[in-house]
Chain A
């Protein structure tokens, strides 16, 4: 067993885990945060994307122990109470999902994209940045629309906060 301590969605958690435990298993099975999905388990599909120290990472290809001391943000940590995060709201508004399996990973990837590239991202950039996220249902069209709108809304939200 190995001990690990990290912050997940703002709360500090410590546990003794088998070193083989993947970060995604730790989140789902130990912390019962089942919003993060496993689609492929081979680092292809992006259903497991969470933020580790503010960067999008595939949690199926990261050991829980490798996240020692890190700050983890999962889909559960995105909303502000009952108010959806602007990117979540944009996915709902633009119907950026069908079965929803890929959605948590898509949204975490989209938020990371905006954090790195800003609020004004064009379609080509969005499609390129979504390369590591696979959706079997939607054909991507509405996902791309949602990301574009969510990016703009995140800018708006930031501006509102700053103005207040």
Chain B
């Protein structure tokens, strides 16, 4: 790692001020993406602003018809939260598929969403549930927040404080894990809320998380795995790497979507 200064603010306001006045400063949350990146010298922040001291960013609560999760809630917090398990069990189940127990004890939802890794799980839940990303400056809907691989609508120095997930009628996440890294080779989040249907796909698309509109249209007629029979995504804009080529990923999108719908219907 290159050398850096370290700051541990005690309030959100202080954190924002530190980010503002320190050139090339970066936020560190769980550090489970950032520290490995810094070890490889792929990131060179002048300073790390650690959000670890801000307990105000850790809460999980039900607010009206949404579950609002603080940016510093760890994957383990989300997985174990009674509020989440009751209102959006699919989200708690998704959190359990992330990494391993030790990773889940450190990694945070805010860090995962800010990072927008094309193989991470939370972007699929955000887009699939129609979440709103709340920052210290504004609210951004998921469609506008995720802007392609590792790219988001966040401005320099902007801090995610919460993510608000509207509660669905039915939802489920099906993930085909890369057995070594445990990231999603393909993950599909499906959701039904009244007449609204969403199918969000992660791991496959070459510009990160996206909605599979053909599947949404088919499910709008009838919300059943049968509606997706024979459907597979187009391999054109799919990732291709040593783990899976684009055709295999396209095939998996169809399989995972059917499994997710099946699980959602069974609730």
Contact = CB atoms under 8 A, between A and B. Distances in A.
Interface of A: 2, 18-20, 41-43, 46, 49, 52, 55-58, 61-63, 65-66, 68, 109, 112-113, 116, 129, 131-133
B9 interface: no
Contacts of B99: 132
B102 A46 contact: yes
B56 to A, nearest CB: 16
Contact of A55 (B6, B8, B76, B182): B76
- Interface size class on chain B is 20 to 34
A132 B105 CA distance: 12
28 contacts: A2-B5, A19-B3, A19-B4, A19-B5, A20-B1, A20-B3, A43-B32, A46-B102, A55-B76, A56-B102, A56-B105, A57-B102, A58-B102, A58-B103, A61-B36, A61-B106, A63-B31, A63-B35, A66-B52, A68-B53, A109-B102, A112-B101, A113-B101, A116-B101, A129-B101, A131-B100, A132-B100, A132-B102
A125 to B, nearest CB: 11
Interface string B38-50: 0100000000101
Contact of B6 (A19, A113, A131, A133): A19
Interface in B77-129: 99-103, 105-106
B28 interface: yes
Contacts, number: 70
Contacts of A52: 105
Contacts of A20: 1, 3-4
A19 to B, nearest CB: 4
Interface of B: 1, 3-6, 8, 28, 31-32, 35-36, 39, 48, 50, 52-53, 76, 99-103, 105-106, 182
A58 B106 contact: yes
